[in-house]
Structure 1
Amino acid sequence: MSMVVWVDGALVGPREKALSAVDHGVTVGDGVFETCAVYDGTAFALTRHLRRLARSAAGLGLDAPDEALVRDGVAQVLQAAGTDAGRLRITVTAGYGPLGSGREPGAQTVVVAASPAAPGATAKVARSPWVRNERSAVAGLKTTSYAENVVALADAASRGADEAILANTLGDLCEGTGSNVFVERAGELVTPRLDVGCLAGITRELLLEWALDEGLPVREAREGELPFSVLDDVAAGRAHLALAGSVRNIQPVVRLDDTDVEAGELSLRARELFDRRRAADVDP
């Protein structure tokens, strides 16, 4: 299997020209998306992902996506993909539009695609020279305007990393290009508050809930508790770092910039907890 793609009600070839050349998602990145892990032909936490898709659309000023249509697309794609699928992406754009930033009322474009995925058990990260704007109009929304992430991730990859870690404009630790971050120190796993500009990740959300259920010390940071400089403590071995995201789940970090670091004991326990709980409930 390479990739299975569905656009507006029909399966299409992955290289088939299936969108308008002036779709607003193409011309100005006017759209929202979700990525789910797929296990044994089923999308994980699909209901939560669709709920966030609707929140992102509302934040962008788009009509709520047609959930029944999206679920139909998901079903068709996963049936065609079989058990080889590991990643599912749902994209909803504003559809046909003018060449400028203004929108033209009309039907949205809906794309569902699946491909294999082989996430590692650990991660290598690099500090990004760019920052996340916590006051942006799209802060905390999962939009297709993703060029900042593409550039930051390419820079990290050029330095041997598989994720870039960003501060916000105030110097707070924020997030990765496609992940939330957790800092392990003093016997706790602590993740940045949402008001620093990071995405409200589904994996982040579930880990906070499940850790509370099982008495694992995982929590949201207090205001100002996690400056970007906390990564100096990680590099020095005084703290540890873990990533959380769809497909990657929980990944302890084993390299920061050019320094090998140890996976934290609590990060490893969080990875085990998440893997166990997600295996027990495919749509928590």
Structure 2
Amino acid sequence: MSGTVGSEDRGFTLGDGVFDTALARDGAVFARARHVARLVAAAQAIGIAIGAGAIEAALDGALTPAPAIIRTTVTRGTAARGLWPASAGAPTLIVSTAPWTPALLGQPARLITATGRRNEYSPTTNLKTLGYLDHILAAREAAAAGVDDALILNTKGRVACTTIANVFALIAGRLITPSLAEGCLPGIMRALVIEAAPALGIAVEERPLAPQALAGADAVFVTNSVRFLRPVRSLDGALLGDGTDMVNRLQELVLRTEYNDR
């Protein structure tokens, strides 16, 4: 781990910060430039000034020979009590790692629909902030139900995301994923899938997605930077279309393209 958090750090006391999770393999961070750019943009969006160079150096310092999950956290730093003005000094930058194994890839997921809703109108809805309690409670629901993850709807009752992933559905030959206006995060793997799918002859639409449409989809899968593309086997106990072959082909293309471009 690089860096420490003091007891008066606003990230600790108020959740005042942002974070990013990436995968390091073969001595490099997968989609490194995209992860760094997104984290810098998220920090800037909440008024924290941090340069890409500092984040890149922290990531490089955390690399090990073994594959690892790398979490990079940026907080506003230490400040006096109160919400605002935040008389903080330099931001806090922390990088931590956890083991990663290929066994995490490709395992079909079972989902339930969370009871809570994601607020697509929040100014932070497209940012990976440190305030993750809504998703923690949804993950607790999923664990209590004996499934892998929870589908989170927005205030209009449409698909936003899961607790840890973006959502895609193959419907009538088109790949549908909620737009950012629906309340999802701008996932790195989400962006890579959107860019890669047309090469397989699959058109992509970013638009509202009703949860009822998932039942009739030819395939449903979720994406994040640690598990890549993960087929969804069931939702609320109902089996969904098996798109494993398509998901595998799309994942292979995404990985090959990104590794060739880095």
* Shared fold per TM-score greater than 0.5: yes
Report which stretch shifted further, 143-152 or 65-74: 65-74
Residue 238 (structure 2) pairs with residue 267 (structure 1)? no
Cα distance, 1:160 vs. partner? 2.0
CA contact (8 A) 2:8 2:80 kept: yes
Cα distance change of structure 1 residues 44 and 86 upon mapping to structure 2, 3 Å threshold? same
Cα distance, 1:250 vs. partner? 0.8
1:69 aligns with: 54
| 1:117-156 CA-partner distances (Å, limit 9, x unpaired) | 2323132222111111001121101111111111111211
Cα distance change of structure 1 residues 160 and 272 upon mapping to structure 2, 3 Å threshold? farther
Q: TM-score, normalised by structure 2?
A: 0.91
CA contact (8 A) 1:187 1:266 kept: no
| 1:80-137 CA-partner distances (Å, limit 9, x unpaired) | xx22232111110000023332212311000011111232313222211111100112
Distance in structure 2 (CA, Å) of the matches to 1:269 and 1:188: 15
Identify the match of residue 105 of structure 1 among 84, 88, 92: 88
Distance in structure 2 (CA, Å) of the matches to 1:62 and 1:75: 22
Residue 72 (structure 2) pairs with residue 90 (structure 1)? yes
The one-letter code matched in structure 1 to 2:231 is P
Residue 173 (structure 2) pairs with residue 209 (structure 1)? no
Distance in structure 2 (CA, Å) of the matches to 1:228 and 1:48: 29
1:117 aligns with: 100
Cα distance change of structure 1 residues 100 and 162 upon mapping to structure 2, 3 Å threshold? farther
Cα distance, 1:228 vs. partner? 2.5
Identify the match of residue 20 of structure 2 among 26, 29, 34: 34
* Structure 2 unaligned blocks of 5 or more: none
Cα distance change of structure 1 residues 259 and 83 upon mapping to structure 2, 3 Å threshold? farther
Cα distance change of structure 1 residues 255 and 86 upon mapping to structure 2, 3 Å threshold? farther
Q: Report the RMSD for the aligned CA atoms in angstroms.
A: 1.8
Report which stretch shifted further, 155-164 or 135-144: 155-164
1:6 aligns with: 2
Q: Percent identity?
A: 33
Secondary structure (helix, strand or coil) at the match of 1:272 reads: helix
1:252 aligns with: 231
Distance in structure 2 (CA, Å) of the matches to 1:120 and 1:166: 22
Within 5 A, what are the aligned runs for 1:124-273?
Answer: 124-212=110-198, 214-222=199-207, 224=208, 226-231=209-214, 233-234=215-216, 238-264=217-243, 265-273=245-253
